[in-house]
Structure formats: C-alpha cells, structure tokens
Amino acid sequence: MHALTVENASKTYKSPPRPPLKAVDNLSLHIPEGQIYGLLGPNGAGKSTLISMICGALKPDPETGSIRIFDKDVVRQTDQAKQLLGIVPQEIIVEPAFTVEEVLYYFSGMYGVPQAERRKRIPELLESLGLADKQHDKARSLSGGMKRRLMIAKALIHKPRLLILDEPTAGVDVSLRQRIWELVRQLNAQGTTVIFTTHYLEEAEQLCESMTVINKGKVIKEGKVKEIQQEFSQNIISFELYQSEVEHLAGVRRVGVEFELPFRDLVQDMRGLLDFYGDNLKSFRNEAASLEKVFLQLTEGGPTP
Ligand SMILES: Nc1ncnc2c1ncn2[C@@H]1O[C@H](COP(=O)(O)OP(=O)(O)OP(=O)(O)O)[C@@H](O)[C@H]1O
Ligand SMILES: [Mg+2]
C-alpha cells in the first residue's frame, strides 16, 4: 500500500484583485510505504501548499481527485487520516505559555494516547531530541532550534505511520541537522514512512532513495535519486582551462569556473576536446552530476552560461 497517494491535486489561491494563483497544479504523487522520500523544489514551487492539503489545513480545489494517507481520504475521513499522520510545518509554531512537557502532554491527549503510554513516551521523545533538560522550561524560552525539536516531538507523540517534515533542517545548526537525520533514519528503521522537503540537495542524497522534484505546482521529475543523478551525468565531460577567454568547441557551456561538454561517444569526444584545446586543457573528468546541477537544469532549464 502507498503511504501517501495524491491524485490530481490542485490548489488555487484567490486573493482579488490579484489574478488567481494555481500553487499546486493537477499534481499526482504515489509514495510507497517504508521509504524516506524527498520532495524538492525551489521557493514557491508549491511544496508547503501541498503539505497543507495533505494535513487538511487547506481545502483542495473541487476538481482534485483525492489525497489519501494509507487508505484514509483526508477530506472524507479526516480524523482517521490524522491519526496516521505526523506533520512538522515549515513555520515555527509553539505554545509559548506552556512548558515543553505540558505541550507534549496536551498533544498526546488530543490524539488520545493513553495515560500510561504518555508517561513513557514523553521522556523518551525528549531524550531522543535532546530536550530532556528543558522539559520544565516554557516553550517561549527555547532557542529556534529547540523549538523545532519540540515541533518534531509533537508530530511524533502519537507514533504516526507517516511523518512529513517541511524543511526540518532549515536554519538549524550542524549538530541538530545530524541529529534530525539520525532520528529520521531511526524512525524509518522502525517502520515509519518519512517524507521531507528540503532545498539542501545533499540531504536528499544522504537520506532518500527516491525523490520528486516539483516546480510551479507540477511534478517535473521523479524517481530514484541515484538514477536521476545518472541520467544527468552519463553524457557530460567537465573540464577546466588555464585560459578561459578563448574560442570554444561547439556545445561547450560554462558552469562557474568549469566548462562542460555533453558527449555521445566518450573516447571520440575526449579526443576532440584534447585536439581542440591542446595545452590549454588543465583538467577533465567524467563523473556523476551533483544533485545541485540536476536541480538547476530541471528548474531553470540548464546552467547559465
Ligand atoms: N495563503 C496564501 N495566499 C496566497 N498565495 C499563497 C499563499 N500561500 C502560498 N502562496 C503562494 O503559492 C505559491 C507556492 O507557495 P508554497 O509556500 O507552497 O511554496 P514552497 O514550495 O513551500 O516554497 P518554499 O520552498 O519557499 O517554502 C507561492 O507563489 C506563494 O506565494
Ligand atoms: Mg514551503
């Protein structure tokens, strides 16, 4: 079964007198159970809008097919769907006047977690998120990174089968980022499906097997991270020149201080490159494209010359 099924979802923001904006445009996603799955896309791609529809905070456009968490429809079976889902939103939201422990106690009540389970679960979560020594502190007194940890704890309190994190590592320090990655891996090993959005491509490379790239509300690429990298890397020779202000071979494009040449036949095109640039060629290589480059090519139609 899929942990998340999105079928032809659309969301149009209407704020007259401005023209309506289709932030999510007939988008479909099928995310298998058991994965750590990356949702990537530039600012304004529609990721958070999609997540708001998934958690029921935003109503999809009427023509939307359906959104299901496992087999529960988020519109028609909202309460059951919510029990299966934990969401960590992008914006930091905490209950300022409550202590860390009280916040978690309150949320576990909302999800109907039994008392005995709460007493066990809350300290466990606080421990694993490095918040144990803050349990009696008011949420408002926590640092930004600690507030984010508290939000993650809140999302996990009812042991959801699907956890969605909207940019969990934006603005957090290196040690917390590592801790969040560790936690994601741990939860996944225990059977939780995890979907997260990020702008850090390194994160997708490190954590997920598969990913979807969205732009302007539409899916523009989906598949296994490794395969997407390969697809974009197989046919490129990257090289550096001593003197770059020279005439270039047809098809060569500049990427920062380097140049790239797409090729059909590696050996033949390498010879062509050596013949053309001769002693001006400083170095060359043929390697897997970084996800960074893949992303730019997908969302901006290629690296800028
Ligand atoms: N409440 C709203 N009213 C009107 N327009 C909105 C609203 N929320 C988002 N938008 C617009 O919808 C588009 C998608 O925004 P969204 O927040 O879903 O993008 P995102 O992919 O999460 O971006 P980011 O990576 O910056 O978080 C943007 O153009 C945004 O300005
Ligand atoms: Mg967002």
How far is ligand 2, taken at its centre, from the CA of residue 130, in Å? 26
**Does 116 map to a domain?**
yes
The burial class, CB within 10 Å (0-12 / 13-18 / 19+), for 50 is buried
| Residue 60 and residue 103 in one domain | yes
Q: How many Cβ atoms are within 10 Å of 124's Cβ, its own excluded?
A: 12
Mutation pick for ligand 1 pocket among 10, 11, 12, 13 (CB with most ligand atoms within 8 Å): 13
| Residue 198 and residue 272 in one domain | no
At 287, which CATH number?
3.30.70
| Residue 46 and residue 141 in one domain | yes
| Residue 111 and residue 148 in one domain | yes
| Residue 151 and residue 284 in one domain | no
Give the pLDDT confidence of 270-291 residue by residue, as tens digits.
889 999 999 999 998 876 555 6
Q: What's the domain count of the chain?
A: 2
- HSE on the CB side for 61, CA within 13 Å? 20
Domain boundary (222, 254, 285) is at 222
Q: What is the pLDDT of residue 265?
A: 78
Identify the CA nearest to 287 among candidates 226, 233, 225. 233
Give the pLDDT confidence of 61-101 residue by residue, as tens digits.
999 999 999 999 999 999 999 999 999 998 988 899 999 99
| Residue 239 and residue 186 in one domain | no
Measured distance CA(87)–CA(39) in Å, rounded: 14
H/E stretch holding 145: helix 144-156
Q: Which domain holds residue 194?
A: 2-222
Contacts of 187 (CB under 8 A, 6+ apart): 156, 163, 194
Domain boundary (187, 222, 257) is at 222
CA distances from 191 to 1, 70, 161 (A): 13, 14, 7
Q: What is the pLDDT of residue 293?
A: 65
| Nearest atom of ligand 1 to the alpha carbon of 15 | 4
How far is ligand 2, taken at its centre, from the CA of residue 26, in Å? 18
How far is ligand 2, taken at its centre, from the CA of residue 32, in Å? 22
Q: What is the pLDDT of residue 175?
A: 82
Q: What is the pLDDT of residue 132?
A: 95
At 116, which CATH number?
3.40.50.300
What region, left, alpha or beta, does residue 112 occupy, with left being phi > 0 and alpha being psi -120 to 50 degrees? Answer: left
| Residue 179 and residue 278 in one domain | no
| Residue 272 and residue 198 in one domain | no
**Strands annotated E in 89-226:** 162-166, 193-198, 210-215, 218-224
Mutation pick for ligand 1 pocket among 14, 24, 47 (CB with most ligand atoms within 8 Å): 47
Measured distance CA(79)–CA(81) in Å, rounded: 5
**Does 229 map to a domain?**
no
**Does 227 map to a domain?**
no
| Residue 218 and residue 260 in one domain | no
- Counting ligands in written order, which one lies closest to the CA of residue 50? 1
Question: Is the shortest distance between the CB of 23 and ligand 1 below 6 Å?
Answer: yes
How far is ligand 2, taken at its centre, from the CA of residue 100, in Å? 25
Average pLDDT, 10 consecutive residues per value, the chain (305 residues): 96 93 96 95 92 94 94 94 94 91 94 93 92 95 91 94 92 82 92 90 84 93 83 77 93 90 83 93 76 69 44
| Residue 95 and residue 201 in one domain | yes
Which residues on neighbouring strands pair with residue 197, listed in sequence order?
A: 39, 166
Question: Is the shortest distance between the CB of 49 and ligand 1 below 6 Å?
Answer: yes
Domain boundary (194, 222, 250) is at 222
Torsion of CA 285, 209, 304, 248, to 10 degrees: 20
**Does 305 map to a domain?**
no
